[in-house]
Structure 1
């Protein structure tokens, strides 16, 4: 009876040794990406099945927290790949990144040619409302200002949707942005640190509208069978969020990092994203999108500042926002 026990022990020791020798890929991302319901667990399982490696996610919070960690650690970081920055943040991260080497046709509403940052999903920012509570939503920021509606938004200092709203107003109104914020201030019920807190308040009926995405209603339709949530179409156009992945230049696993980037653009990974991250995939999967995505609004025009413009305008836009909400 000792021999089976010995064999089992040897097998376990061998498995542990193999696991210890497997290369580790450290991927920095945001917290909802690695949530049980997010894309992280499925992407991790699918990639590890092919790479013979150990994919380890770290999630310090939202994308703003990711960027802060990267800038603080610099070349000393143990991060190999970053997943979840967007175009409003990449200008600061660029000096730390290396070319990803992935060549693939992207299904984006804009042209994209950046050797450092690879899009993996995208959507437009929008104000989401409940059609059973609000029959006719505002069709512009000015109509929202003139209404008696309440909205919940996110803090641009800690939340990418919050920062996206700053850039949306700036891209749509330019020098008039400060006046728009002064008009919007009475409509803002509260400002939350992140998206989940804001969306939760909206679902609880605390506000008429919430800053989210044009793709948010797809979640309710597909996951809950609820078609009562919709995104309001604004005449000014809607600002894009393009989420990207990138390789950290100081990685000690450059080949594995490039393998992961190629995987992220593959059909296997892109098919996971729509119904876990509830965004449009950067590369349309062969199976297409679920029916719940088909009736969503497709805004025109698509607004997007370049990475350098977003960096230049960020502090002035934040000052306009703070001044308006302080009054």
Structure 2
């Protein structure tokens, strides 16, 4: 009887240890929903990383990048995020101020965005420029500047909410960079041609493809997507004379990560050439390395002058600028 109890005790300990080991091998990654969709980079990255790490990736999706930051803030120390993928440089100071991330300790000398990267808490994993995208078969005379879009364009647009979406926040900063103190007046004029403001990029682009507006706020790289995936070269990105706002998307280790070593391994994986190619061809952004071969349509993407407000200035004024936008479009 004592021998049976002893064997049962040993078996229980082994089962418990195997369960602990399984739990330790599951890496939880918070990101935005399009990243983990069946056509996004998430599924392919999962197969590649799980093969090397002998672990399990668990993706947790939010509508968009700003919504992701809001979720992390609300969860606080109860967050289950080992890794956060999908913030951008505009949100880095707030995430740092709220102590939502921790240092990655990785070498970033090989990264170019397009200059070198030196941030100790965040790793860039892709970059791009926002643009209003249109179908040239349907729109023959797209605007060639932000001023023309706001003041003269007779068509319709769809864009994303700056309170939930990084493209929406990008447009908020784009208008601020061009119009300065006159931004509220510009928003009132844009309101007259806006079909709707969506929570996420997914929603906005889906409505645009259904023909619900002439232009949609998206990225200059969309032309490469349509040509490579659909053999359709009719979708174009408008390059504005004042410049197009730049975005650099970043990843980080969560402040309350349970598996820091594995999280660091995942960040290092994200910036390898093979992962960078998957991200470029499935998230449809530009890589943050110069040694990633891409199909010819990427070489044909327009590259307007990059506009960018310093992240520290964005952090200091973002809430006030969002209120300006909200007040202008609600009148």
Query: Quick check: TM above 0.5?
Result: yes
1:10 paired residue number: none
2:321 to 317, 320, 327: 317
| 2:295 counterpart of 1:290 | yes
1:203 to 190, 209, 225: 209
Question: Residues 222 and 134 from structure 1, CA distance in 2 versus in 1: closer, same or farther, beyond 3 angstroms?
Answer: same
Contact 1:141 1:180 in 2 (8 A): no
1:174 paired residue number: 180
Partners of 2:161 and 2:62 in 1: how far apart? Answer: 17
CA RMSD of aligned residues (A): 2.0
| 2:42 counterpart of 1:40 | yes
Deviation at 1:260, TM superposition (A): 1.0
Contact 2:32 2:68 in 1 (8 A): yes
**TM-score, length-scaled by structure 2:** 0.89
| 2:167 counterpart of 1:165 | no
Partners of 2:47 and 2:24 in 1: how far apart? Answer: 15
Gaps of 5+ in 2: 1-13
**Deviation readout 1:48-82 (Å, 9 max, x if unpaired):** 11112222111132222221221122223221110
Contact 1:231 1:297 in 2 (8 A): yes
3-state SS, counterpart of residue 328 of structure 2? helix
Deviation at 1:306, TM superposition (A): 2.4
Gaps of 5+ in 1: 1-12
| 2:32 counterpart of 1:26 | no
Partners of 1:180 and 1:130 in 2: how far apart? Answer: 24
**TM-score, length-scaled by structure 1:** 0.90
- Alignment size in residue pairs: 312
2:242 paired residue number: 236
3-state SS, counterpart of residue 292 of structure 1? helix
1:79 paired residue number: 81
Deviation at 1:277, TM superposition (A): 0.3
Question: Residues 192 and 60 from structure 1, CA distance in 2 versus in 1: closer, same or farther, beyond 3 angstroms?
Answer: closer
Deviation at 1:285, TM superposition (A): 4.3
1:133 paired residue number: 138
3-state SS, counterpart of residue 58 of structure 1? strand
Contact 1:22 1:54 in 2 (8 A): no
1:307 paired residue number: 311
**Deviation readout 1:255-275 (Å, 9 max, x if unpaired):** 111111111111121110111
Contact 2:35 2:41 in 1 (8 A): yes
Contact 1:131 1:228 in 2 (8 A): yes
3-state SS, counterpart of residue 213 of structure 2? coil
Matches within 5 A, 1:147-166: 147-166=153-172
Partners of 1:38 and 1:317 in 2: how far apart? Answer: 31
Matches within 5 A, 1:99-110: 99-104=103-108, 105-110=110-115
